[in-house]
């Protein structure tokens, strides 16, 4: 993956430990107004670390700050509403960043409510009103039956007890979907092409070689998907597009 970092113009920062996501470690200090901190982080108007962003998100949810300025019916309404009442999440980049922060902190209920607000309906788009402004849903969930967003929506709609267990961090969305009968136990989204358990059991050096080999073997679209989903939320958006452009220049030379 070092080659990826070089192409994207990224360098390693010695002495900085990688972020370790935790579903239970939600106690952090928040400076300034948490809603303002989160809004600026999503709009990229102020440099904000993922730790500070998660801390602001925790304060907003745990203290119910998202309901203070206006009696929103759901966190999704608050996320989509325009400032100063809401976060103004109306495009993919801030939505991806909010998704990463919510799921990283274990706020599955709130993310599902955001999904319900921003998901694009099938057929002809219909406009919905949020904060007295025209709002058109813009997010398309993955088509795979095992995709986490799709599982969360199905659990909330048809299996509220299992959804509650996910929100209480008692079950993962996948485990809850298996118990609810939405997907079969042992079913794989990769068609048997990858043994995740065996890969996780490898030592770090072997894991690195495997990841590099797999990355090089996959298509440009798959490579860009990895960068967009795993790297951009931490290092900034636009990296996948830069990678795609670099690949196009390389193939044309």
Indicate whether 249 belongs to any domain: no
CB 163 within 8 A of CB 176: yes
Indicate whether 43 belongs to any domain: yes
Q: Is 2 left (phi over 0), alpha (psi -120 to 50) or beta?
A: alpha
pLDDT, residue 235, reads 80
pLDDT in tens, 80-137: 999 989 999 999 989 999 999 999 899 999 999 999 999 987 655 554 444 445 788 8
d(CA 49, CA 53): 6
The whole-model pTM stands at 0.64
Indicate whether 148 belongs to any domain: no
CB 52 within 8 A of CB 30: yes
Q: What angle do CA 156, 67, 69 make, to 5 degrees?
A: 150
Mean pLDDT of the chain: 79
pLDDT, residue 26, reads 39
Indicate whether 122 belongs to any domain: yes
How many domains is the chain partitioned into structurally?
1
- Of 180, 90, 85, residue with least CA distance to 134: 90
d(CA 55, CA 4): 30
d(CA 39, CA 132): 19
d(CA 253, CA 192): 36
pLDDT, residue 192, reads 58
Alpha-helical regions (H) of the chain = 2-8, 34-43, 50-62, 75-80, 92-104, 108-118, 148-158, 160-167, 173-180, 196-200, 204-217, 220-226, 232-235, 239-252
Residue ranges in the chain modelled with pLDDT below 50: 2-8, 10-31, 127-132
For residue 104, what are the contacts with CB-CB under 8 A and spacing of at least 6?
A: 21, 50, 54
Indicate whether 252 belongs to any domain: no
Indicate whether 74 belongs to any domain: yes
Indicate whether 121 belongs to any domain: yes
What residue numbers bound the domain in which 76 lies?
23-140
Indicate whether 110 belongs to any domain: yes
For residue 22, what are the contacts with CB-CB under 8 A and spacing of at least 6?
A: none
pLDDT, residue 98, reads 93
Which residue matches tokens 């025209």? 134
pLDDT, residue 48, reads 72
CA–CA distances in Å: residue 245 to residues 8, 93, 213, 221, 250? 10, 19, 21, 12, 9
């Amino acid at each position: 993956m070092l080659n990826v970092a070089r192409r994207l113009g990224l360098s390693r920062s010695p002495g900085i430990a990688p972020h370790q996501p935790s579903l239970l470690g939600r106690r952090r200090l928040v400076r300034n107004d948490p809603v303002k901190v989160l809004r600026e982080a999503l709009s990229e108007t102020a440099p904000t670390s993922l730790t500070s962003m998660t801390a602001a998100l925790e304060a907003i949810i745990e203290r119910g700050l998202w309901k203070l300025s206006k009696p929103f019916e759901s966190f999704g309404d608050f996320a989509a509403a325009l400032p100063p009442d809401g976060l103004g999440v109306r495009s993919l980049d801030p939505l991806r960043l909010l998704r990463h922060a919510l799921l990283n902190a274990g706020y599955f209920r709130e993310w599902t409510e955001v999904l319900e607000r921003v998901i694009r309906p099938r057929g002809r788009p219909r406009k919905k009103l949020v904060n007295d402004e025209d709002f058109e849903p813009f997010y398309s969930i993955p088509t795979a039956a095992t995709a986490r967003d799709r599982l969360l929506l199905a659990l909330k709609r048809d299996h509220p007890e299992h959804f509650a267990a996910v929100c209480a961090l008692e079950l993962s969305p996948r485990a809850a979907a298996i118990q609810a009968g939405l997907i079969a136990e042992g079913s794989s989204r990769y068609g048997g092409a990858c043994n995740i358990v065996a890969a996780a059991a490898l030592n770090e050096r072997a894991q690195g070689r495997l990841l590099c080999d797999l990355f090089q073997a996959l298509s440009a679209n798959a490579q860009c998907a990895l960068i967009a989903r795993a790297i951009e939320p931490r290092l900034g958006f636009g990296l996948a597009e830069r990678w795609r452009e670099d690949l196009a220049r390389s193939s044309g030379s």
